[in-house]
Chain A
């Protein structure tokens, strides 16, 4: 791609929109980012970052098997995502090995199985697009699946928004007042698996965990209100996706990596300059001039 010297901001934004694949990529990635950002608030507060990493890596063999059998890849991914969590729970309960060890052990096992399967099953599976995402090459059937799953997760999270917040904050109180905590636990895990499934199309299996934790962590530094945290998380996720895709278009960079890098930079900005929790506390800085 020739990066023209006469490039204006106007053409920087509009030129990519003339391509059909770019419009689709921008829309789909924004949708996926919104879903992951929404969920991200819950995962960061619940302390499920490692769980997010585990589930997203564990879907690998599911994706491969689904492609090989001609099934929707989301189905295979979902089964293996939930399966990995069940297996983690089972091994933790039946052995003396610590939880973080069990999580690391199970997801690397699943991931390795996926890689071995790819090398054995001779098909047109593109390992690169599974590992690193391919938002620019998303197919029509993938678009349909992504929209369906995204809507499902958004609806579930919206309905149980407050219950899930209570579950993250004080599960014992939830149980005491007759709220079904086990249901909420599996609901959150289900949403996590589904979000990992749609997220991997944007940024790939390896980086999808960033979509699930970075926006929430950024928002956590910027507010003390849960609803605002969710809004900030979703917005920062969407903005990162747009920035990432534009940057990757103009500078010919790996798209998934660019999106996650954009998220990381936004986090770093919050880390340094967040009004209350940043290192330099912008609020104090401005207060000095009043």
Chain B
């Protein structure tokens, strides 16, 4: 058997298990992603999508298995700002007294000194990131005054400012306007060309077909994983969603 060069994988999650106080949320899950790959994470509510993200960001500890990022430990990936997480809208207190600039600046915190004083390079990174998501007119707008789509772009800008090579996006398309959806799709193509690795969860099956090279179907564990064209079949989707036919989920014509 040939030995695997783990350096080749941006994300390498091997047999990971997560349980909350003895209640299993995810077991024996595997995922391997290379630079430039976009992978869709698909499953029902409570199937473990958020748990998977939590494990990859280190927000929850895995009880079994191993996670390597660029061949190294999660701890060193955190220190190197390798992973960026873009939360879903419900995961954020939109009434928090903070403006767009300050949220995006938080993407730089990990690489600043202990007082988090922005350097010239941090200011530039934040400026560039905000420009890329087209929010330059809203630098000092409190996030509570933004639309859902603008808020989503703010957090995307934070991930860009962080200069992470891995982006984890929780429902990036939920509750956004057409303009934001188009802008996010364009950014995904740019990210892919820059060699970033993207894992996104979505409820929208059309988005999976449109953007994702790979798809990971989960229901507490991996139901199927592989190239979207091969794996994203009606049978697999039905299994993932506990027997509900895909026609019901995204129309008979798909």
Interface residues of B in 58-110 (CB under 8 A from A): 58-59, 75, 78-81, 83-85, 87, 91-93, 96-99, 102, 106-107, 109-110
Report the interface size for chain B: residues with CB under 8 A from the other chain.
35
Give the total number of A-B pairs whose CB atoms are below 8 A apart.
79
Q: Which of B19-47 contact A (CB under 8 A)?
A: 21
- Asked if A173 CB lies within 8 Å of chain B CBs, one says yes
| Bound Cα distance A28, B112 (Å) | 36
Give the dominant DSSP class at B's interface. mixed
Is A265 interfacial (CB 8 A cutoff)? no
With contact pairs A45-B96, A177-B162 given, residues A170 and B21 touching in the complex (Cβ less than 8 Å): no
Contacts of A178 in B (CB 8 A): 75, 78-81, 110
- What is the distance, in angstroms, from A166's C-beta to the closest C-beta of chain B? 6
Q: Is B228 an interface residue (CB 8 A)?
A: no
Looking at B78, B96, B99, B111, the one whose CB has the most chain A CB atoms below 10 A away is B96
Report which of B21, B79, B84, B97 forms a contact with A223, defined as CB distance below 8 A.
B97
Give Cα distance in the complex from A220 to B98, angstroms: 11
Q: Is A175 located at the chain interface by the 8 A CB criterion?
A: yes
B251–chain A nearest beta-carbon distance, Å: 34
The reply to whether B21 and A93 contact each other, CB–CB distance below 8 Å, is yes
Q: Are A224 and B106 in contact (CB under 8 A)?
A: no
- Whether A225 lies near B99 (C-beta < 8 A) is yes
Quick check: is B158 within 8 A (CB to CB) of the other chain?
A: yes
Contact with B along A216-248 (1 / 0, CB 8 A): 000010011110110000000000000000000
Q: How far is the CA of A159 from the CA of B115 in the complex (A)?
A: 6
A226 vs B142: C-alpha distance when bound (angstroms): 10
Residues of the A chain whose Cβ atoms lie less than 8 Å from the Cβ of B109:
162-163, 166, 174, 177, 179
Residues of B within 8 A of A171 (CB): 59
Which of B104-140 touch A at CB < 8 Å?
Answer: 106-107, 109-111, 114-116
Residue from A171, A172, A176 with most neighbouring chain B CB atoms (10 Å): A176
Q: Is A269 an interface residue (CB 8 A)?
A: no
Q: In the complex the two chains form, is B78's CB within 8 Å of A169's CB?
A: no
Contacts A163-B116, A166-B109, A225-B142 given; does A176 touch B59 at CB 8 Å: yes
**17 A-B Cβ contacts within 8 A?**
A93-B21, A162-B109, A162-B115, A162-B116, A163-B116, A166-B106, A169-B106, A173-B158, A176-B59, A177-B109, A177-B110, A178-B80, A220-B97, A224-B144, A225-B97, A226-B96, A228-B97
